[in-house]
Amino acid sequence: MFNDIGALELVTLVVLAVLVFGPDKLPKVIQDVTRTIRKIREFSDSAKQDIRQELGPEFKDFEFEDLNPKTFIRKQLDSDELGLKEIRNGFDLKKEMAEVTDAIHGRDTEPSSSGSSSSGSDGGRVDMSKKPEKPGETDRPADDRPPFDMDAT
């Protein structure tokens, strides 16, 4: 219940309780609070028991924690009746994205796939060391990207 309360926070709560209720009434307040929490838990347990009895024997394994959407989805995905783990493991997003970016930049992804390129012996690469054919173009190194054009996007 108090998993996320640190020592400093607990000491602060105790000091605040002593200041608000006083040292004389504090034991009585603690007893009242614990009694109230105990009654709420008993009421909750009896309500859960009544609901389980009303649902019948088909739902004897029903857990109320499963009503939380995150828990429900996690439980359904962990069962893996559809083979989703196999599909997920067979799909490598990083590898796929690297292949796409290499294809966009005109680079070969694997040395063995250079024979499948139909654009010539250079694998479709553009030779940036040649002079530009159009007037007004400037020479750029091969690794330099073209300037960003806001109107083109």
Provide the terminal-to-terminal Cα distance of the chain, rounded to the nearest Å.
53
Domain boundaries, the chain: 1-57, 63-110
Q: Are 124 and 105 in contact (CB under 8 A)?
A: no
> Which pLDDT score is estimated for 39?
97
pTM of this structure: 0.40
> Which pLDDT score is estimated for 19?
92
pLDDT in tens, 98-153: 888 888 888 765 544 444 444 444 444 555 555 555 555 555 555 677 777 777 76
> Which pLDDT score is estimated for 111?
47
pLDDT in tens, 19-68: 998 989 999 999 999 999 999 999 999 988 888 888 888 877 777 777 78
Q: Are 72 and 66 in contact (CB under 8 A)?
A: yes
pLDDT in tens, 54-102: 888 887 777 777 778 888 777 777 665 666 667 777 777 788 888 888 8
DSSP conformation letters of 34-99: HHHHHHHHHHHHHHHHHHHHHH-GGGTT--GGGGSHHHHHHHHHHH-SS-HHHHHHH--HHHHHHH
Q: Are 120 and 113 in contact (CB under 8 A)?
A: no
